[in-house]
Structure 1
């Protein structure tokens, strides 16, 4: 997780500076990455995608569906961080937008990528000394967006190309669908379960 923080900071600084020097650089940050990026099959010239691809392969969720969900919202948050305009801000789920505390209190940047606002606030305000690597690994092993089994998260458009199912995107924009399994995360951090959505399975 420390590498995640350092990598994120370098990415944000370098990309933000590049956009300030040439506004055309903003064009390399589309609203939604290519399906091949979301599935971790390839990276491209977009620095955010290059960074996320490396991190998701190391610390990402166990299932493809959950990986795509996490990738998409983290990408849109980083896209706004790199290019902070109203258009990119509005693309971030309301519950995922940085709070006043996040914007004013120094903290590990990695906390901003957690889906649960109460957990983010708690970790910032209490400086809870969690072991970052094991904490992140446990979240990766436990996170789910609870997408119904058997429903397609990818569909074909009129040109036969794979695209995200709009219903899937609507689903992951609902905060109630972002859950952590009681095993192993809830059992490892029982004092924090009230700060997230827990699922028993």
Structure 2
């Protein structure tokens, strides 16, 4: 039998692999075209790079002042700052979330642990027997609707009213310490003035150490329908809590710090608010303090209090060396103020009173103290209220006069009448007595080293100082060539 030859499969099977893969003329032309296109592309790229390099060289040669390099550096700095701020915002977000979580936990603990509200407040503070009112259970029931409405206040979380935070920042306490206390009032004020304060975050009771049930300033018993029944010490601490001012708020507070208090005492707070289309942040708080605590004081006293309180408030909210220098040294805090305490204590002028309140504030937290305080405070200023300020006709702004400014920088000008000493004789060692200073007794001495003595020699020097102040006051009142002139000239007292 014969076998078939392996080449019998046809002519294509007999071709070699090299002959089968040989490119056609069409493929060769395409490859040549692709190579030319790639060469042209590379040449264009090289030409573009060379052109850009020439442009850069030209810019560098023309930038003899280094402005381009400076701009590039600024761009890099701004980019770095942006990245840092983004990281800071993320850290704020984390901190806020943690803070809100802690508030919710405190609210739950407070709700579970708080005892039933007492129907009657028992006598607890020393002055309660003579100067405070008891809350009747029927009155509490009648007031329930008002309290329910107040639960919608921004200071509430989940339907429970939270008080303002207490001041306990040891890093700031050594820098603080001024102005005055408070008087009481029987005139009602709008609730938005008494309870609302968008600048302050509610965290815990502002009175430190916290009051116990039955005390005048106990938080639950300090809530009431009418202004006359509100505990003024608790109210003052709620209002005078520390704030963080935005840059615009600081500028507004500094620009109008002379005009606002004077205009408020002449035309009223509503007129000031209309004039400025709203009050700066700190002055919103000080307005509440003035209307709620000091409205029964004289205009000279109110101006001095507002002036000095604003100095401290502005410095504590945005500390700078210049603002610190503007605060008298005896208004700065004492070592005892490093102890946790109610923030409003720092606004007393006298170091002895501040220390007394740190250790025994609940002996004086009733409204009797503030009624006597308001009735007793007296600034040693032998001139009229119109001499406390001048008016810039060009700017249309009031300005505190230099003689009055120097006078209230002297702690001996902040005196008290006999009403408060008759009730609390221990205050003789803490505050100057108006009656004793005006009698010029050479034997006047004060136990507190920060309330200065007034012997005869000092009294004579003070008389001479008063004569100099009087000369300056008269010059301010009658010299019309001065840029600041008194608008009340010729109008009488």
| Structure 1 position 27 matched with structure 2 position 251 | yes
In structure 2, the CA distance between the partners of 1:134 and 1:38, relative to structure 1 (3 Å rule), is farther
In structure 2, the CA distance between the partners of 1:39 and 1:188, relative to structure 1 (3 Å rule), is farther
Structure 2 residue ranges without an equivalent (≥5): 1-232, 439-493
| Structure 1 position 175 matched with structure 2 position 399 | no
Q: Tell me the CA shift for residue 162 of structure 1.
A: 3.4
Q: Tell me the CA shift for residue 53 of structure 1.
A: 1.0
- What is the rounded CA distance, in whole Å, between the counterparts of 1:83 and 1:149 in structure 2? 34
Kept after mapping to 2: 8 A contact 1:48/1:75: yes
Q: From 349, 368, 377, give the equivalent of 1:143.
A: 377
The corresponding residue for 1:99 is 334
In structure 2, the CA distance between the partners of 1:35 and 1:137, relative to structure 1 (3 Å rule), is farther
Instruction: Report how many residues are paired.
Output: 191
- What is the rounded CA distance, in whole Å, between the counterparts of 1:191 and 1:153 in structure 2? 32
- What is the rounded CA distance, in whole Å, between the counterparts of 1:144 and 1:187 in structure 2? 16
Structure 1 residue ranges without an equivalent (≥5): none
Residues 17-73 of structure 1, C-alpha deviations (whole Å, 9 max, x = no match) = x53xxx444222207624343453224431211111111112115210110001000
In structure 2, the CA distance between the partners of 1:155 and 1:190, relative to structure 1 (3 Å rule), is same
Kept after mapping to 2: 8 A contact 1:39/1:68: no
| Structure 1 position 131 matched with structure 2 position 365 | yes
Q: From 52, 59, 63, give the equivalent of 2:293.
A: 59
In structure 2, the CA distance between the partners of 1:106 and 1:31, relative to structure 1 (3 Å rule), is farther
Q: Tell me the CA shift for residue 169 of structure 1.
A: 0.3
- TM-score, L = length of structure 1: 0.84
- What is the rounded CA distance, in whole Å, between the counterparts of 1:161 and 1:29 in structure 2? 14
Between 1 and 2, higher relative CO (CA 8 Å, sep ≥ 6) is seen in 1
- What is the rounded CA distance, in whole Å, between the counterparts of 1:197 and 1:150 in structure 2? 22
The corresponding residue for 1:118 is 352
- Residues 149-160 of structure 1: pairs in structure 2 closer than 5 A: 149-150=383-384, 152-157=387-392, 159=394
In structure 2, the CA distance between the partners of 1:167 and 1:99, relative to structure 1 (3 Å rule), is same
- What is the rounded CA distance, in whole Å, between the counterparts of 1:100 and 1:65 in structure 2? 31
- What is the rounded CA distance, in whole Å, between the counterparts of 2:255 and 2:379 in structure 1? 20
Residues 95-132 of structure 1, C-alpha deviations (whole Å, 9 max, x = no match) = 11122322x11111121111111111122134552134
Kept after mapping to 2: 8 A contact 1:4/1:110: yes
Kept after mapping to 1: 8 A contact 2:379/2:414: yes
RMSD of the TM alignment (CA)? 2.3
Q: Secondary structure at the match of 1:29?
A: helix
Of the two, which has the highest radius of gyration? 2
- What is the rounded CA distance, in whole Å, between the counterparts of 1:177 and 1:96 in structure 2? 13
Q: Tell me the CA shift for residue 197 of structure 1.
A: 0.7
Residues 68-101 of structure 1, C-alpha deviations (whole Å, 9 max, x = no match) = 0010001111111111222222111111112232
Q: Secondary structure at the match of 2:254?
A: coil
Greater Cα offset, 72-81 or 161-170 = 161-170
Kept after mapping to 2: 8 A contact 1:180/1:198: yes
- What is the rounded CA distance, in whole Å, between the counterparts of 2:308 and 2:397 in structure 1? 22
